[in-house]
Amino acid sequence: MLASVGLESFLEPSVECGVLPAALSEGVLTRLLGDYGADVAVPNLGCLGQEQFLPVYARVAAGVRAAGLRLPVHAEGFAMLASDKVALHRIARQRGWPVPRAVVCAAAGAMREAVGELGLPVLVKEARSEFHAGRHYVRDIDHLDRVCGEVTYPVLVQQAVEGEEFAVELLSGASSTVAWPVASLGRLDGDCAPGKRVRVAPAELPGRARAELAATVADMVEAFSPWGPWQMDLAVTDDGRLQVIELNGRLSGVSNMSWVSTGLDPHAAHMEAVLGRAPRRRPRAARVALELPVYNDAVLPPAPAGTELMPFPGNPANPGPLIGGYQRSVLGVPYERAAAARAWLTGLPTGVLLNSPEEAADQLERGIRALGQRGQPGQLGQGGAPFIV
């Protein structure tokens, strides 16, 4: 296990640990793989700095294949889409994928013209940035002027979408793509911090948005050949239209809900695929997974009988919960235990959740409605049914 931080305290003693070089490049990575004599190398794309390294991994994988080393990663075309927001916007417009109105800008003057065309508020996104940075929700001209002097160009100036935010995680192999249940991330806001909201899986999309998502995923798979985990952030506008907000070449913060809802951990499924094994089963929602942002110094009471409460604190590779003041616990709720879970949520004392118990209860109800559709013939975003390309 190679990392930029020490992981010895987090892993079993049998795992050998090493330190990644401070600066990775195509040549450095190729030599590193040769030095370790690895048969298979798997990047952890959730670690800081790895997401922007996707195109390099794709090129290295092609170069080391002749030596018998497997580096199972996305093809270079998909890697570019998933790591460059400007490239994603341009390709989406060419192929007819539903994305918000936006303008690519290479200088401050162009940003001001774009705002004049799109109106405020807007999202300003640097083309290549890590998941925690490089985006700004701009409400007024004074804020725009400050952002113009802070960003690295080019940037995408994107119309701020009003509506509900969703996410879906997928795993692609040589012959098929499967999806975990679509998750609701709550209503879009100017904080751009969905991890602070109460989130739930499964969540049902409106019929039109569901069809648009299925068609977009199918075209992405056919045209750009993803291999491994990937994830999409979506919005459904107040008039029911789908908008693709982001595309990431990794699993995301909703993985815990994906696991709790289906019983199939997407990270474990990815490792099975790396070893050439098909998933044990298709991911289908069996219960509602409700993610609750909980203050670090708060203690949740025992979960109701028949439900399961799983805490997900931080670790050395993901210190966010340790320094952000809160962690995210996931409550697994079978359909028949909805009333007990609702009573538990509304009875929580103040100062435990970042959000109100009523917001949590509303999201639980949304998940229960979607779970109730699980017996119907499935498409992506309907009742948590698996999607297979």
Q: What is the pLDDT of residues 353-365, one digit of tens each?
A: 999 999 999 999 9
The answer to whether residues 360 and 290 touch, using CB atoms and an 8 Å cutoff, is yes
- Identify the pLDDT of residue 318: 61
- Residue 386 pLDDT level (bands cut at 50, 70, 90): very low
User: At what angle are helices 357-371 and 338-346 packed, to 10 degrees?
Assistant: 170
Q: What is the pLDDT of residues 77-128, one digit of tens each?
A: 999 999 999 999 999 999 999 999 999 999 999 999 999 999 999 999 999 9
Distant-in-sequence, close-in-space partners of 108: CB < 8 Å, separation ≥ 6: 148, 149
The answer to whether residues 242 and 98 touch, using CB atoms and an 8 Å cutoff, is yes
Q: Which residues of 131-162 are buried (b: 16+ CB within 10 A; e: fewer)?
A: beebbbbbeeeeebeebbeebeebbbbbbbbe
Domains, in order of start, for the chain: 2-73 (no CATH), 101-159 (3.30.1490.20), 163-371 (3.30.470.20)
Q: In this structure, what token pair is assigned to residue 240?
A: 């029911």
Task: Tell me the mean pLDDT in the region 158-163.
Answer: 95
- Identify the pLDDT of residue 179: 95
Q: Tell me what percent of the residues of the chain surpass a pLDDT of 70.
A: 90
Distant-in-sequence, close-in-space partners of 190: CB < 8 Å, separation ≥ 6: 121, 137, 139, 160
- Identify the pLDDT of residue 389: 40
How far is 282 from 386, CA to CA, in rounded Å?
Answer: 6
- Closest CA relative to residue 380, chosen from 237, 202, 169, 214: 214
The answer to whether residues 129 and 161 touch, using CB atoms and an 8 Å cutoff, is no
- When computed from its CA atoms, the radius of gyration of the chain, rounded to whole angstroms, is 21
- Closest CA relative to residue 155, chosen from 248, 86, 246: 86
User: At what angle are helices 85-95 and 76-83 packed, to 10 degrees?
Assistant: 110
Task: Tell me the mean pLDDT in the region 168-183.
Answer: 93
Residue 387 pLDDT exceeds 50: no
Q: Which residues of 287-318 are buried (b: 16+ CB within 10 A; e: fewer)?
A: bbbbbbbbeeeeeeeebbeebebeebeeeebe
Q: What is the pLDDT of residues 6-61, one digit of tens each?
A: 667 767 888 877 777 777 789 998 998 888 888 888 887 666 667 788 999 999 99
Task: Tell me the mean pLDDT in the region 208-226.
Answer: 95
Q: What is the pLDDT of residues 275-313, one digit of tens each?
A: 888 777 789 999 999 999 999 889 999 999 999 999 987
Question: Helical H runs in the chain?
Answer: 26-36, 54-64, 76-83, 85-95, 108-118, 141-148, 207-224, 255-262, 266-274, 320-323, 338-346, 357-371
Backbone torsions φ then ψ of 57, nearest 5 degrees = -55, -40
Task: Tell me the mean pLDDT in the region 160-178.
Answer: 93
- Identify the pLDDT of residue 46: 65
The answer to whether residues 258 and 330 touch, using CB atoms and an 8 Å cutoff, is no
The answer to whether residues 33 and 72 touch, using CB atoms and an 8 Å cutoff, is no
Instruction: For tokens 């065309």, name the residue.
Output: 117
How far is 261 from 255, CA to CA, in rounded Å?
Answer: 10
pLDDT mean across residues, the chain: 89
How many other CB atoms are there within 10 angstroms of residue 130's CB atom?
Answer: 13
- Identify the pLDDT of residue 378: 38
| Cα dist from 292 to 80, 360, 371, whole Å | 33, 7, 19
Residue 194 pLDDT exceeds 50: yes
